[in-house]
Amino acid sequence: MGSRRFELTIVGAENIPDIRRLGRMKVFAVVSVNGYTGTTKTDRDGETNPTWDFPFVFNVSQAHLQWGPEMDAVVDLYCETTLGGDKIVGRALIPVKTLFYRGIRSEGSLGFPVAGPLCGGCIYATASRRKNRHHRRCRRRGGGGGERMRFGGK
């Protein structure tokens, strides 16, 4: 049956909890689905309402979409800190089938709740089917500063 190339765009988040005692929230997201992982750039201005418009491309088998169990895109939100490492803000689970069938027909983005220590907020995402083989690139968190990561392939 083959596989479908799928683009999930993490638009942003709204009303996430402010976990900083001092300073501004600088938030980034780590997206994982079906063996693919990507990291957004850090939003330094939005604080509790960060925006990224981060396109994340991955493959899903047609058979899995039709008959397989639900697969989630896991979006972990982190607050960048200068001391003590980055802190988890929360996690959203985005059902891929829901996005595939509802999100593509939707005119806007769909919202998914963020769960975490302080709970609250929402992640917004859109979806589209990709027909070409263009690979998106973005910086990889950790490791050497100049490393690049290819999306759309393992």
Q: What is the pLDDT of residue 147?
A: 30
Q: How far apart are the first and last CA of the chain?
A: 20
What are the structural domains of the chain? 3-132 (2.60.40.150)
Mean pLDDT, contiguous 10-residue spans, the chain (154 residues): 81 90 90 90 94 89 78 92 87 84 65 75 76 39 32 33
Q: How do strand 122-130 and strand 3-14 relate by DSSP bridges?
A: antiparallel
CA distance 71 to 33: 8
- Laid out side by side, the sheet with 72-79 consists of 36-39, 27-33, 72-79, 87-95
Question: 3-state SS string over 29-90?
Answer: EEEEECCEEEECCCECCCCCCCEEEEEEEEEEEHHHHHHCCCCEEEEEEEECCCCCCCEEEE
Round to whole Å and give the CA distance between 75 and 109.
15
| pLDDT for res 59 | 83
Contact status, residue 120 vs residue 131, Cβ threshold 8 Å? no
Q: Enumerate residues 6+ apart whose C-beta is below 8 A from 133.
A: 5, 152
